[in-house]
Amino acid sequence: MLRAQNADDEVPVAKVHLRSEVLTIMVAILITSIAVVLIYQLWDLHPRVPILYSGDGLLTLNGLRNMRFGSWYWSTDKLGAPFGQDLHDFPAVADNLHLIILWIGVKLFRDEVLTFNLYFFGSYLLTTIGGYIGARMLRLNRPAAVLIGVTYSFLPYHYIQGPGHLYLAAYWAIPLWATFLIRELMDDSICPQLPNSRSLGSLFEWCRTPQVLLISVISILAASTGLYYAFFFLMLASFVLAIRRASQKSPCQWLPTAWALCVSIGILALQYLPIWLYQRSNGNNLSIVQRTVAAVEFYSLKLSNMVLPITGHRISALAELRNRSNPAYLIGEGSDALGLLGSIGLVALIAIAIYRLTRNKEGLSTALSSFTVMAILICTVGGLAQVIAVLGFTQLRVWSRMSVVIAFPAIVYSVTLLSHLLRNRKKMVLVTTLTAVGALSILDTNAGHQLPSYNATARTWEIDRSLVMQIEQKLGANASVFQLPIVPFPENPPVVNMTDYDHLRGYLHSSTLHWSYGGVKGRVSLSTEIDSNALDSFLRKVYAQGFRAVWVNLKGTTDNGKLIREDFARLQILPFAMSSDIEVFEIPSFFGR
């Protein structure tokens, strides 16, 4: 039974056996699994066909396939032919824990697509576990922690970010480091105080305590599960450190936060070291990604976006409320809605923060509200993020992603309020209420199956697989294919009706063919240096570089390939493999004379 006495009380947790915790987590996992199956209609899933076969999903699969046939995600000789692909200029910095998990999956299953699918759906389970552990660290009891973990996992942010932004969708570590900082704000650190002697030996002993080791693990997770989340942690931890230093009642109360900052910065530095060494040897590549101050403002957090219903809400009247806000200029990424449960908690926490500015009260609600206000000050339109951008740091632009951090204390507080309402109720009332609130919250924050049709994707996947097999049979192993239209890599706007990264489709179906697309812009890349306007001279150039076929994506042409098809026909070259949007032409050997 929930045992909160009022909205400000921490729910006391008796010392429980590990088995009880594991069993409760299994219940939470079961609930989450059922919801995932129903929402995503997994009975129709094709496990070895990617659930997202376009856009950023292809980019993620690019890295996973590099892992499958190489040592790590950032290099392959099969793309960017004839030079190869090297992603040191476009790294997944601070995503290394995700990458390690995925590397294990790729090597274990020998299938990057299956690993990709499993990690997206598995991220719901991991996030539920993270939310549950975070709630338990805040001394909420098990039923409340289950509700928090499940509802936090099914934020709109989850399905909007993933699987295209697979690493952002796996935000399961956030509740752990958010809870650590909230506990620091409560003056209830999970870490023992430094001994009064403060000698080198006592400091060493302090560092070896289980609590400090736990903080170290949390800090490592914060720094290795997403660059955005790592920076959010560093900025919030800096705020907390300043508060702890200014308000400490005994010496060195700030040390746990300082230790966490040092560990996280060190882990970030280690992850960046290979990129730094590469750029030191090869020079900086400033042309790879362009970010502007205006983009930072556009993608900053909007409070209205968090409390308005999700786009396409199941209730038409609520969907219309969101539609009314869309004409606004600063629409942003659109992944920041919290749902009704989270919105109630957010509004309550802001009200508490304002109320308590003139009162010195401690407790869970005060810490949650302080944490929330700090997060909003950092990432809202015109906030600290904008100042940082003006000073020159514009590489992180989508500060509205802080919404997933703010969501955790908001949901925690809403469940704490619910605990107050349900105190001393019968067990049947308790279970029924929690189930109803959880189910309604999931329905409120999820509009239904948001992924492309599994069957339609499977048909496209099979067509592309057949097309690539024809190329291999015609040209033999290790042949090179030049891809048109020429598209810079990475991050390029759509070319006519062809979305970014669409040229990667061929690479996902062959372990032998080499493709011109995928060479990083700003480095040596043949595909950006050859003019394709004069077809005959173009074919001579690419043949001299070892290419034996031309892959034409018809969606990237204004006339669905009519002109280029006529140009090939004029040279008496007909496609030997084709689909609805791809035609492949062999380059005759006489172009090599």
> Which of the listed residues 445, 479, 499 is the one where a domain comes to its end?
445
- pLDDT at position 266, please? 96
Contacts of 110 (CB under 8 A, 6+ apart): 68
Q: Are residues 385 and 472 in the same domain?
A: no
| 412, burial (CB in 10 Å: exposed 0-12, middle 13-18, buried 19+) | buried
Highest mean pLDDT among 156-165, 345-354, 429-438: 156-165
Is the pLDDT at 389 greater than 80? The verdict is no
**Residue 303: band (very low, low, confident or very high) from pLDDT cuts 50, 70, 90:** confident
**Top-confidence range, 100-109, 273-282, 325-334:** 100-109
Q: Give the three-state DSSP class for 278.
A: helix
Whether residue 63 lies inside any domain: the answer is no
Q: What are phi and psi of 505, to 5 degrees?
A: -60, -40
Q: How many domains does the chain have?
A: 2
Q: What is the pLDDT of residue 218?
A: 96
Among 313-322, 332-341, 460-469, the range scoring the smallest mean pLDDT is 332-341
Distance separating alpha carbons of residues 79 and 519, to the nearest angstrom: 7
Give start and end residues of each alpha helix (H) in 199-254.
200-207, 210-224, 227-247
> Are residue 330 and residue 384 in the same domain, yes or no?
yes
pLDDT (mean) for 58-80: 94
Name which residue leads in pLDDT, 526 or 204.
204
Is 355 a member of any domain? yes
Residue 518 inside a domain? The answer is: yes
Residue 591 · residue 543 · CB < 8 Å: yes
Give the Cα separation of 187 and 244 in Å (integer). 8
Whole-prediction pTM: 0.90
Domain range for 360 = 18-48+111-445
Among 413, 445, 477, identify where a domain stops. 445
Given its phi and psi angles, is residue 170 left (phi above 0), alpha (psi -120 to 50 degrees) or beta? beta
pLDDT for 48: 96
Q: What is the pLDDT of residue 555?
A: 94
Q: Examine the domain organization and report whether 288 and 393 are in the same domain.
A: yes
Residues 341 and 431 reside in one and the same domain: yes
Do 461 and 438 reside in the same domain of the chain?
no
| For residues 374-379, average pLDDT | 86
516 shares a domain with 376? no
**CA of residue 368 relative to chain centroid, distance:** 24
User: Does residue 416 sit in the same domain as residue 509?
Assistant: no
| Residue 17 CB-half CA count within 13 A | 3
Distance CA 489, CA 412 (A): 42
pLDDT reading at 15 higher than 60: no
φ and ψ at residue 354, rounded to 5 degrees: -65, -45
| Backbone φ, ψ for residue 300 (5° rounding) | -75, 170
- Assess if residue 88 is contained within a domain: no
Q: Is residue 326 part of a domain?
A: yes
**pLDDT category, 195, cuts 50, 70, 90?**
low
Examine the pLDDT at 201 and tell me if it is beyond 50.
Answer: yes
Q: Collapsing DSSP states into helix, strand and coil, what is residue 202?
A: helix
Per-residue confidence at 537, pLDDT binned at 50, 70, 90?
A: confident
556 domain-assigned: yes
- Once rounded to an integer, what is the mean pLDDT over residues 112-128? 97
Asked whether the bond before 82 is cis by omega within 30 degrees of 0, the reply is yes
Q: What is the mean pLDDT of residues 385-394?
A: 74
Q: Are residues 393 and 328 in the same domain?
A: yes
415, 474: one domain: no
In the DSSP assignment, the letter for residue 577 is E
**pLDDT greater than 90 at residue 419:** no
The last residue of one of the domains, among 383, 416, 445, is: 445
Based on the fold, state whether residues 168 and 203 are members of the same structural domain.
Answer: yes
In a domain? residue 376 = yes
Q: What is the pLDDT of residue 12?
A: 47
Instruction: Assess contact for 50 and 57: CB atoms under 8 A.
Output: yes
Contact of 470 with 577, CB cutoff 8 Å:
yes
Residues 584 and 538 in one domain: yes
Residue 338 has pLDDT above 60, yes or no: yes
Q: Cα separation of 491 and 515, whole Å?
A: 18
Contact 575, 567 (CB under 8 A): no
Task: Pick the range with the lowest mean pLDDT from 23-27, 312-316, 347-351, 474-478.
Answer: 347-351
Q: Evaluate whether residue 66 is within a structural domain.
A: no
Tell me, what's the pLDDT at 3? 44
Under DSSP, the state recorded for 53 is: -
Whole-angstrom Cα distance, residue 339 to residue 337?
6
For the stretch 550-565, pLDDT in tens is 999 999 999 998 899 9
In this prediction, residue 177 carries a pLDDT of 97
In terms of DSSP bridges, do strands 85-86 and 480-484 run parallel, antiparallel, or are they unpaired? unpaired
Q: Is the pLDDT of residue 124 over 90?
A: yes
Whether the pLDDT of residue 571 is over 70: the answer is: yes
Least confident of 4-8, 88-92, 329-333, 519-523: 4-8
475 and 522 both lie in a single domain:
yes
